């Protein structure tokens, strides 16, 4: 089973079931079957996206879940905004959910997009096929070459000028002094997800977990050994903890770590 995770400790299986962690136990709160690929959280809501334009919105206060389909394109990336979320997918698909209204938010983008990080309706980064990146500012979406040919799968940032993206074959690039520059990863596996706080943490196939406190292109990524060969597909930070989701065949696992990489707890048999 493949897992995706949100910062409010909600976990999605690859069948779309929603699990919630209350600090002691995991409990299934919704078992509806959906083909979901990614999820993001704000303080009051969770936003999940999936294949064939699937969107799921979970209200943290009412504990209600609303789902809809908005396109025939597959959605792979989502980032929360103050009043909604920004979503990206195949063939240049970009949608915005703002105050309950969903609209197309880009035209003229041809590449498939897999990851997005948003700061406002006028500031965001998206990444995708063939190393392409797009930056959103007051002028709209503008392509910015990363110098990479491999697909970029995820992007994270602490600000619009402090950005890191990861992708296939160990690709890591950082936005530095107005351009993308490669950062050596020391691995050749596909990298699936990244966070930028606290420090940079990257997860990928075959149990790959990388971290560094230095986000410059000259920085050194060090590997943290989780003692697993499972593919690590998602990562998020919660307070002074780092949470990681892994998958292998029909199974999966969740790791709860301290920011020094030491293990607090693990669930699952991955």
pLDDT, tens digit, 9 for 90 and up, residues 69-85: 999 999 999 999 999 99
Closest by Cα among 236, 168, 193 to 37: 193
Specify the pLDDT at position 7: 43
Q: pLDDT-based confidence at 177, cuts 50/70/90?
A: confident
Domain span holding position 198: 3-268
Closest CA to 165 of 136, 186, 192, 137: 192
pLDDT for the residue 58: 83
Say whether pLDDT at 103 is over 70. yes
Count: domains in the chain: 1
Phi (first) and psi of residue 266, to 5 degrees: -135, 140
Question: What's the pTM?
Answer: 0.91
Q: Say what the pLDDT of residue 60 is.
A: 74
Question: In CATH, what number is assigned to the domain containing residue 103?
Answer: 2.130.10.10
């Amino acid at each position: 089973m493949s897992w995706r995770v949100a910062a409010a400790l909600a976990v999605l299986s690859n069948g779309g079931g929603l699990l919630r962690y209350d600090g002691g136990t995991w409990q299934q709160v919704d078992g509806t079957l959906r083909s979901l690929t990614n999820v993001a959280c704000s303080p009051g809501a969770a936003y999940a996206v999936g294949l064939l334009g699937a969107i799921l919105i979970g209200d943290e206060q009412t504990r209600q879940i609303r789902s809809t389909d908005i396109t025939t394109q597959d959605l792979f990336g989502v980032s929360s905004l103050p009043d909604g979320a920004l979503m990206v997918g195949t063939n240049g698909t970009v949608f915005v959910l703002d105050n309950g209204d969903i609209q197309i938010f880009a035209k003229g983008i041809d590449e498939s997009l897999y990851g997005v990080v948003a700061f406002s309706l006028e500031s965001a980064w998206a990444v995708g096929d063939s190393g392409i990146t797009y930056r959103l500012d007051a002028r709209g979406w503008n392509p910015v070459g990363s110098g990479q040919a491999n697909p970029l799968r995820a992007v994270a940032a602490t600000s619009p000028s402090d950005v890191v993206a990861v992708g296939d074959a160990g690709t890591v690039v950082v936005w530095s002094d107005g351009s993308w520059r490669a950062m050596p990863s020391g691995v050749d596996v596909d990298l699936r997800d990244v966070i930028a706080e606290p420090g940079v943490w990257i997860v990928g196939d075959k149990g790959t977990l990388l971290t560094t406190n230095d986000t410059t292109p000259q920085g050194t990524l060090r590997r943290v050994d989780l003692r697993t060969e499972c593919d690590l597909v998602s990562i998020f930070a919660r307070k002074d903890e780092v949470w990681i989701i892994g998958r292998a065949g029909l199974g999966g696992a969740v790791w709860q770590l301290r920011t020094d990489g030491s293990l607090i707890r693990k669930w699952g048999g991955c």
